[in-house]
Amino acid sequence: MPTPAEVRAAGGVSQTGVGNPAELLWNLIIRPPRSRYSVQQLGPTYFRVDKRAFVRRTDVQLRNPRGHALECSLFEPMPQEAWEHSRLQAAA
């Protein structure tokens, strides 16, 4: 996670208008700096939780009314048979 100085240097936080350190801290909590990572860092697309729950992750991109891209991941529990079938199809 970047330091507050790195966020300011990148233009993420403006020093003007922030006369109170508590306000700066509050803004870091309610509007934390965005982390950058690759899709590979999200982990496997198909995985098990506690050897009984089978999960598939689907990555999607949505646009909000202002036109900003939102990167999202949908995690779906699946029956074991469907999970195995989907996992094998994805590997092919």
pLDDT per residue as tens, the chain (92 positions): 666 667 666 665 555 555 788 888 888 888 777 788 888 888 899 999 988 889 999 999 999 999 999 889 999 999 888 888 888 888 87
Of 88, 16, 72, 30, which Cα lies nearest the Cα of 8? 16
